[in-house]
């Protein structure tokens, strides 16, 4: 470079020469003169927003060195007393809004702002923080967001837009209300963010950090091996993901090798990982007996015995028996009710709900051939699912292999033809929703029909008295048909309870389907009418009993309560003994619970209107009849999640001795103890429940709580003295 292209200037008393167009910041760095900064990184386009890099160039005000180009003869002071005071004040102002220590400082001790504060010996700020605080955003599985730790340096915006070209991040607001936003100020997990991690790597503080989940590393096993960072980056589904981000999560994915016949995961077990098959084949199946718990007894005698046995559907056709012939599991396919076995191969992902929502495994997966798979934690799975290449591959596999069986697994769609489904394949949309995200809202115009593919959806209506939960929908169930059939607005709000995926069928395709297949329309209309009638009855019952303490105790949710009149009860426990004697020694009644006046609400299934027991069942085996009675289907795998979810302790796990095949030994059987979920069946074989029948003092009663307490209130009002 010729001398004419060099600019000579003085920095802190040193004469230096740098190319024309160089900034003061870069000129100082070229000559080992340090100028602190927060918003500027090497090889980045400078923006001059933090102003920590201020220097004195002899002008009226100090200049940001990262954006001020050098000039011939310029005299620059980077560390005189005036500059130091200004820089100290700037850092102190930034620290006044900064939660110290922030997440980055706690995790790795390298928050750049707090490091500068330590250099300046700033321990407490003299300035009051901003009155408005945005707090954390925990919607992303991979990246933790703390808006209060953000210093508006814009490094995340430049990483997202200039480096990755994703254009998700930007600024919003003005003045003291300025902040960073994802898309149109959406939660990060609901935005178009692909979790590449560039923003987190760019952030100088704890505003964006690697999210620590329940585990940060998968325990090593003899059949597993770590995957080197270079290998991860070569896998197509990690294409475009930040190397730093993968490095932080490299212990959250391992390569597993399974021998033929070896169990990869077992139904009912709790886990936190998902599996992606790279090579080989595996068999997915349900080993629990396909049967429900049936309690039977002979002629009623005092303290009469009932016997609980596992009974197959064909031997006990229950009222309103579901026509379902498919069992929905946490895998790309469903299992046939009559033969619950299927195959998995290269490119199949299974265990998503176990990984994302920590639900029990829905089925047993066993290697059929030598099988190699990636096992991963939620951070890695979330990265993969947000990767456009990998997501497109999964979506295409679903369209080609699972859409037709998924539709036909829903009884009302059984008559759809191959030709019609083929036409739908490329037109349906697969949408993902994070916990708490609204899918469609009551009162909105209807433009879609939705089929639940993964997760649980809460259906609720808003009334003057608050929110009324109508149903919980899981894989294989659907919503949105009523408004489309009746050409009206949405009648309910549907919200993702956990990590949900739905298949969206547009209004035009839905209309064509109901036109071509009148039987489908009739079935949808029938189901819709039943749902509307059920909702009306529920609303009438709730509105008929305005009893504050009754509502606060959760009794409004019940349809059938076992009440003990404490004025008559002698605490003999005959009711508890009768229940245990009637059910193979496994009582479904505990003489404890909530109290209302002189009545005790015993611990026994309430047949809740809002049955939390249904949420999370990995195979969808607990359901509610049109009568609102909660029953447990044949394919219960005995994981116990419903018993854990019941807030009243009213579901029990009943053990049974069963005989199962011995792997690798055809014709050989071995005895095993399997458990099935059971709840109070009101001793349906008899005229009244055993607990009520056995009470010698007429203290035990099964009642409809709304009717009972409404009458109680009327009696109280009629006997009240006049004022």
CB 48 within 8 A of CB 64: yes
What CATH number corresponds to the domain at position 349? 2.60.120.10
Residue ranges of alpha helices (H) inside 196-265 are: 198-202, 229-234, 243-248
Q: CA 203, CA 39: separation in Å to the nearest integer? A: 9
Residue 301 has pLDDT above 80, yes or no: no
Task: Give the residue from 543, 561, 578 where a domain finishes.
Answer: 543
Residue 298 has pLDDT above 60, yes or no: no
pLDDT at position 433 is 85
- pLDDT tier, 547 (very low <50, low <70, confident <90, very high otherwise): very low
510 versus 390: the higher-pLDDT residue is 510
Helices 112-119 and 81-96, axial angle in degrees (round to 10): 130
Residue 1 has pLDDT above 50, yes or no: no
pLDDT at position 633 is 82
Is residue 376 domain-resident?
yes
pLDDT at position 635 is 84
CB 238 within 8 A of CB 249: no
Residue 662 has pLDDT above 70, yes or no: no
517 and 443, same domain (yes or no): yes
650 and 522, same domain (yes or no): no
The closest alpha carbon to 528, from 472, 458, 481, belongs to: 481
Q: Give the residue-averaged pLDDT of 160-178.
A: 86
φ, ψ of residue 342 in degrees (nearest 5):
-150, 170
- As for how many domains the chain has, the answer is 5
Residues of the chain with pLDDT > 70, as a percent, come to 79
Most confident of the ranges 143-152, 207-216, 619-628? 143-152
pLDDT at position 322 is 53
pLDDT at position 310 is 74
In the chain, what is the straight-line distance between the N-terminal and C-terminal CA atoms, in Å?
105
Task: Give the residue from 343, 373, 408 where a domain finishes.
Answer: 408
pLDDT at position 721 is 46
- pLDDT tier, 660 (very low <50, low <70, confident <90, very high otherwise): low
Q: CA 338, CA 47: separation in Å to the nearest integer? A: 66
pLDDT at position 586 is 64
716: DSSP letter: H
pLDDT at position 306 is 57
pLDDT at position 303 is 46
Q: CA 116, CA 182: separation in Å to the nearest integer? A: 28
Angle among Cα 471, 475, 480 to the nearest 5 degrees reads 55
Q: Give the residue-averaged pLDDT of 522-527.
A: 87
Q: Give the residue-averaged pLDDT of 470-478.
A: 84
388 and 264, same domain (yes or no): yes
What CATH number corresponds to the domain at position 173? 3.30.70.20
Residue 303 in 3-state DSSP?
A: coil
Residue 529, number of CB atoms within 10 A of its CB: 11
568 and 707, same domain (yes or no): yes
Residue 173, number of CB atoms within 10 A of its CB: 12
Q: CA 454, CA 475: separation in Å to the nearest integer? A: 5
CB 74 within 8 A of CB 10: yes
pLDDT at position 299 is 44
CA distance readout (Å), 284 to 338, 363, 558: 14, 6, 38
Q: CA 19, CA 41: separation in Å to the nearest integer? A: 20
Residue 9, number of CB atoms within 10 A of its CB: 20
Residue 585 has pLDDT above 90, yes or no: no
Dihedral angle over CA of 678, 684, 686, 687, nearest 10: 130
Residue ranges of alpha helices (H) inside 600-656 are: 641-645
Residue 567 has pLDDT above 60, yes or no: yes
Is residue 204 domain-resident?
yes
Q: CA 413, CA 205: separation in Å to the nearest integer? A: 53
Is residue 25 domain-resident?
yes
518 and 617, same domain (yes or no): no
Buried b (16+ CB within 10 A) or exposed e, 426-451: eebebebbbbebebbebeeebebbbb
pLDDT at position 237 is 72
Q: Give the residue-averaged pLDDT of 506-511.
A: 92
395 and 530, same domain (yes or no): no
Residue 521, number of CB atoms within 10 A of its CB: 18
Is residue 88 domain-resident?
no
- pLDDT tier, 605 (very low <50, low <70, confident <90, very high otherwise): low
Q: CA 683, CA 306: separation in Å to the nearest integer? A: 9
Residue 367 has pLDDT above 90, yes or no: yes
Q: Give the residue-averaged pLDDT of 65-76.
A: 92
Q: CA 16, CA 9: separation in Å to the nearest integer? A: 6
Q: CA 722, CA 341: separation in Å to the nearest integer? A: 71
Q: CA 488, CA 482: separation in Å to the nearest integer? A: 8
pLDDT at position 606 is 61
pLDDT at position 537 is 65
Q: Give the residue-averaged pLDDT of 398-415.
A: 81
CB 673 within 8 A of CB 657: yes
Most confident of the ranges 101-115, 310-324, 436-450, 607-621? 436-450
Which structure tokens are listed for 294? 């049936």
Which structure tokens are listed for 65? 């060195």
Q: How confident is the model over 190-244, as pLDDT tens digits?
A: 888 877 778 888 888 999 988 754 345 787 778 788 888 778 777 777 776 666 6
pLDDT at position 549 is 47
Q: How confident is the model over 14-62, as pLDDT tens digits?
A: 999 998 889 999 899 888 898 999 887 655 678 888 899 999 999 889 9
Q: Identify the burial level of 60 via C-beta atoms within 10 angstroms of its C-beta, where 0-12 means exposed, 13-18 middle and 19 or more buried.
A: exposed
Is residue 329 domain-resident?
yes
Q: How confident is the model over 345-357, as pLDDT tens digits?
A: 998 889 988 888 8
Residue 658 has pLDDT above 90, yes or no: no
What's the gap between Cα 207 and its chain centre? 23
Which structure tokens are listed for 244? 């730093």
Beta strands in 189-291 (DSSP E): 208-210, 224-226, 253-258, 263-265, 274-279, 282-285
615 and 576, same domain (yes or no): yes
Task: Give the residue from 175, 210, 245 where a domain finishes.
Answer: 210
267 and 369, same domain (yes or no): yes
Residue 720 has pLDDT above 50, yes or no: no
Is residue 346 domain-resident?
yes
Residue 182 has pLDDT above 70, yes or no: yes
Q: CA 629, CA 318: separation in Å to the nearest integer? A: 12
Q: What domain range includes position 590?
A: 548-719
What CATH number corresponds to the domain at position 74? 3.10.20.740
441 and 496, same domain (yes or no): yes
Residue 304 has pLDDT above 90, yes or no: no
537 and 433, same domain (yes or no): yes
Mean pLDDT of the residues in the chain = 80
What's the gap between Cα 653 and its chain centre? 26
370 and 243, same domain (yes or no): yes
φ, ψ of residue 642 in degrees (nearest 5):
-65, -40
Is residue 219 domain-resident?
no
Please tell me the number of Cα atoms within 13 Å of 692 on its side-chain side.
Answer: 15
CB 694 within 8 A of CB 565: no
pLDDT at position 622 is 82
pLDDT at position 464 is 66
Which structure tokens are listed for 409? 């697994």
Q: CA 459, CA 471: separation in Å to the nearest integer? A: 5
The structure tokens 């991963």 sit at 376
Is residue 704 domain-resident?
yes
176 and 277, same domain (yes or no): no
Residue 348 neighbours by CB under 8 Å, 6+ apart:
276, 277, 331, 332, 397
Q: Give the residue-averaged pLDDT of 372-396.
A: 80
């Amino acid at each position: 470079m010729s001398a004419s292209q060099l600019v000579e200037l003085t920095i802190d008393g040193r004469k230096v020469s740098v190319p024309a167009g160089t900034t003061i910041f870069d000129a100082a760095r070229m000559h080992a003169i340090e100028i602190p900064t927060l918003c500027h990184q090497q090889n980045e386009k400078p923006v001059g927003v933090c102003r920590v890099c201020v220097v004195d160039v002899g002008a009226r005000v100090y200049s940001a060195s990262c954006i001020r180009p050098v000039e011939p003869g310029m005299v620059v002071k980077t560390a005189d007393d005036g500059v130091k005071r200004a820089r100290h004040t700037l850092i102190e102002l930034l620290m006044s809004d900064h939660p110290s220590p922030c997440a980055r400082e706690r995790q790795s001790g390298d928050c750049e702002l707090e490091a500068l504060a330590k250099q300046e010996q700033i321990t407490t700020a003299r300035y009051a923080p901003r009155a408005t605080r945005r707090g954390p955003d925990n919607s992303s599985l991979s990246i933790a967001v703390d808006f209060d730790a953000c210093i508006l340096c814009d490094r995340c915006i430049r990483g997202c837009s200039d480096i990755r070209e994703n254009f998700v991040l930007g600024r919003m607001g003005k003045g003291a209300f300025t902040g960073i936003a994802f898309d149109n100020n959406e939660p990060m997990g609901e935005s178009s963010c692909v979790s590449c991690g560039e923003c987190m790597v760019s952030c100088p503080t704890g505003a964006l950090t690697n999210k620590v989940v329940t585990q940060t590393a998968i325990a090593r096993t003899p059949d597993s091996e770590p995957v080197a960072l270079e290998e991860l980056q070569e896998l197509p589904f990690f294409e475009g993901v930040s190397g730093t981000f993968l490095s932080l999560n490299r212990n959250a994915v391992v390569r597993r090798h399974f021998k033929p016949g070896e169990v990869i995961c077992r139904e009912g077990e709790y886990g936190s990982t998902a599996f992606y098959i790279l090579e080989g084949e595996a068999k997915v199946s349900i080993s629990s007996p396909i049967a429900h718990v049936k309690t039977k007894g002979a002629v009623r005698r005092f303290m009469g015995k009932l016997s609980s046995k596992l009974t197959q559907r064909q031997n006990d056709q229950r009222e309103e028996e579901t026509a379902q012939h498919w069992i929905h599991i946490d895998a790309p396919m469903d299992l046939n009710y009559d033969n619950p076995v299927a195959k998995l191969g290269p490119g199949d992902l299974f265990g998503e709900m176990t990984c994302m929502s920590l639900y029990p495994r829905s089925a047993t997966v066993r290697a059929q051939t030598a099988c190699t798979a990636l096992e991963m934690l939620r951070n890695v799975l979330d990265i993969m699912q947000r990767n456009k290449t990998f997501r497109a591959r999964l979506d295409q596999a679903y369209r080609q292999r699972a859409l037709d069986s998924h539709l036909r697994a829903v009884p009302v769609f059984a008559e759809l033809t191959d030709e019609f489904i083929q036409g739908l394949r490329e037109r349906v949309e697969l949408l993902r929703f994070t916990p708490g995200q609204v899918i469609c809202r009551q009162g909105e115009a209807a433009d879609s029909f939705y089929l639940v593919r993964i997760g649980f959806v809460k259906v609720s209506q808003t009334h003057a008295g608050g929110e009324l939960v109508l149903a919980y929908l899981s894989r294989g169930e659907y919503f949105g048909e009523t408004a489309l059939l009746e050409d009206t607005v949405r009648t309910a709000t549907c919200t993702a309870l956990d990590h949900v995926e739905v298949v969206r069928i547009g209004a035009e395709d839905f209309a064509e389907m109901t036109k071509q297949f009148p039987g489908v329309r009739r079935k949808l209309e029938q189901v819709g009418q039943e749902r509307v009638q059920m909702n009306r009855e529920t609303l009438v019952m709730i509105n008929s009993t305005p009893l504050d303490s009754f509502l606060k105790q959760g009794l409004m949710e019940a349809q059938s309560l076992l009440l003990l009149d404490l004025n008559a009860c002698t605490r003999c426990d005959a009711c508890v003994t009768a229940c245990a004697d009637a059910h193979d020694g496994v009582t479904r009644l505990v003489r404890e619970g909530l109290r209302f006046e002189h009545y005790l609400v015993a611990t026994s299934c309430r047949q809740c209107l809002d049955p939390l027991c249904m949420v999370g069942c990995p195979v969808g085996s607990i359901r509610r009849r049109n009568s609102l009675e909660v029953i447990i289907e044949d394919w219960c795998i005995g994981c116990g999640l419903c018993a854990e979810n019941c807030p009243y302790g009213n579901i029990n796990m009943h053990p049974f001795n069963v005989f199962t095949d011995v792997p690798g030994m055809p014709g050989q059987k071995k005895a095993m103890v399997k458990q099935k979920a059971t709840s109070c069946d009101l001793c349906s074989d008899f005229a009244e429940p055993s607990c009520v029948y056995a009470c010698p003092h007429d203290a035990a009663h099964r009642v409809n709580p709304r009717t009972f307490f409404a009458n109680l209130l009327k009696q109280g009002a009629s006997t009240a003295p006049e004022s």
